[in-house]
Each structure stands twice: as C-alpha cells, then as structure tokens.
Amino acid sequence: MEDKVSVMISEEEVNKRILEMGKIISEKYAGKSIHLICVLKGGAFFMTELAKRITVPVTLDFMSVSSYGSGSESSGVVKFVKDLDEPLEGKDVIVVEDIIDSGRTLSYLMEILKKRNPKSLALCTLLDKPDRRVKEVKVDWVGFEIPDKFVVGYGLDYDQKYRNLPYIGVVEV
Ligand code: IMP
Ligand code: MG
C-alpha cells in the first residue's frame, strides 16, 4: 500500500536554502579548499546539491555509519559500515549530514574524525530536530530547524523508501 506523504518544506524552499548555505560556506572558506564528507546514505542528496553551489575547490569522500534499524527510533548503537577512503590530516573538513536528531550518531562520528587531525572540522546539516537531542553536538550550519516529526525525502528514508523525493515530507500514519 502507498503511504500518504505531505509536504513540510517544498523543493523551492530547500533549493533556495542550499544556495544560501553554499554562498555562506564559500565566503567563509575563501582562498581555501574544502574536503566534504558525506554521511551515507541520507546525506548524499544534500551533499551533491551543496557541493554544486560551493565556489571554492572541493574534494569529496563518503562514509557510512548506522544507528538505526528499520524503525524510526534511534537505538543508540552506532555501527561503522564504511570508512573514508582518504586521510583527513591537514584538510579543512566539513561533514555533511541529512538530519541531526538525538545527536548520537554525529557526536560519536565527530570525535572519531577529530582524532585524524584535520586542519579544521565543521558540521553542516540540512535538518535539525533540536527537541530530540540527547547528546550535545556542535553544528556549524543548519538548513532548517524542524519540529519533532519523522520526515522523508531529500535523502531521508522511511524503511529505505522516499529518499528520492525532491522535497521534505511527512509520512501520514
Ligand atoms: P541521531 O543519531 O539520532 O541524531 O540520528 C541521525 C540519523 O537518524 C540521521 O542521519 C537519519 O539517518 C536518521 N533520522 C533521524 N531522524 C529522522 C527522520 O525524521 N527521518 C528519517 N531519518 C531520520
Ligand atoms: Mg544520516
């Protein structure tokens, strides 16, 4: 059966915000190059859109951690599924995430990445659900703060579905 998905943030709004974020980040890193780290799979859509709007030189790498089963609640267990291909030593690194919810995944990940001696390490997320935070994590750029609702689209899934929606939606249950 098809679920009903309602629009929370339209495609136009998301695109407009990513354009702004690309501009802000490009200005901040003027004269430098940026090493973007995508947290798979959810961060992939946001990362490619953001990368296209950054005007300083960019390199990319991908990693995959998993803190969720097939449901919608964080288990608190973070599993390393795929590590980065490149070292971070001396690089200006920005981690790109789809959403920060409890903060468990990212607080764990940022600690690990810090130990690899990047020149700088920042965090950029498309969405933030601050009401759900249980682990503190410093976020440098947030696309949208959203209420405590389970969202899909723009990389975010519900049981691996809906990642390809070009907007942020809520599955009606
Ligand atoms: P955290 O460790 O609780 O911050 O969870 C972060 C990860 O949980 C995100 O990268 C998403 O993969 C997933 N997640 C959290 N909230 C949502 C949601 O509303 N929709 C889809 N995935 C979510
Ligand atoms: Mg994610």
Per-residue pLDDT of 46-96, as tens digits, reads 999 999 999 999 999 999 987 655 555 555 567 789 999 999 999 999 999
CA-nearest residue for atom 10, ligand 1, is 99
Nearest to 155 by CA among 71, 96, 88: 96
Q: Which residues line ligand 1 (CB under 6 A)?
A: 42, 67-68, 74, 97-106, 150-152, 156
- 2-55: pLDDT as tens digits: 789 999 999 999 999 999 999 999 999 999 999 999 999 999 999 999 999 999
CA-nearest residue for atom 3, ligand 1, is 102
pTM of the model: 0.93
Active site residue 101: yes
The answer to whether 11 and 45 are in contact (CB under 8 A) is: no
| Residue 73: predicted pLDDT | 58
| Residue 126: predicted pLDDT | 98
Question: Would you tell me how many other CB atoms lie within 10 Å of the CB of residue 20?
Answer: 13
Cβ contacts of 71 within 8 Å, gap of 6 or more: none
The answer to whether 100 and 137 are in contact (CB under 8 A) is: yes
What distance in Å separates the CA atoms of residue 72 and residue 142, rounded to the nearest whole number?
A: 21
- 130-156: pLDDT as tens digits: 999 999 999 999 999 999 999 999 999
| Catalytic entry in 98, 101, 131, 159 | 101
